[in-house]
Structure 1
Amino acid sequence: MKRNVGNVERLLRALGGLVLVVCAVMAPLPLAVRLAALGGLGVYLLFSALAGSCLGYALMGRSTCPIEPGR
């Protein structure tokens, strides 16, 4: 996939993903809710931050990356 997430957004996604994963571990909610809602979203945010690519942005044709790859 082509990189479409800028560096500042990657940092914010990584921080948000870490917060959601910690909440999935510590929240006083049923296990299914914690894993599905908090854990799943947290893992996706961490993955997109590490990869530099967001599936939603790719589907919409958006990019927050200031420099196109290959330039």
Structure 2
Amino acid sequence: MKRNVGKVERLFRALGGLMLVTCAVLAPLPLAIRVATFGVLGAYLLFSALAGSCLGYALMGRSTCPLEPGR
């Protein structure tokens, strides 16, 4: 998949993903609810931050990644 997430946004996605995964571990809710809400979203944000691509952006044709010179 083509990269469509810029560096600053990748940083914020990683931080948000870490916070959501932390909430999935520490929240005083039943395990199924924690995993279904915080865990899944946190894992997706971490994956998209590491991969540099977002499925939603690809479907919308959007990109926050600056164009590289020579491309």
The TM tier, using the shorter chain, reads over 0.9
Question: Does residue 38 of structure 2 align to residue 38 of structure 1?
Answer: yes
> Would you say how many aligned residue pairs link Structure 1 and Structure 2?
71
Structure 2: give runs of 5+ residues left out of the alignment: none
* Distance in 2 (alpha carbons) for counterparts of 1:3 and 1:24: 28
Q: Which residue of 2 aligns with 1:57?
A: 57
* Distance in 2 (alpha carbons) for counterparts of 1:69 and 1:44: 29
* Distance in 2 (alpha carbons) for counterparts of 1:41 and 1:70: 35
Structure 1: give runs of 5+ residues left out of the alignment: none
Q: Which amino acid aligns with 2:63?
A: S
Regions of 4+ moved over 6 Å: none
Q: Alignment RMSD, CA only?
A: 1.4
TM-score for both structures, normalised by structure 2: 0.94
Contact 1:3 1:69 in 2 (8 A): no
Q: Give the C-alpha shift of residue 70 in structure 1.
A: 6.5
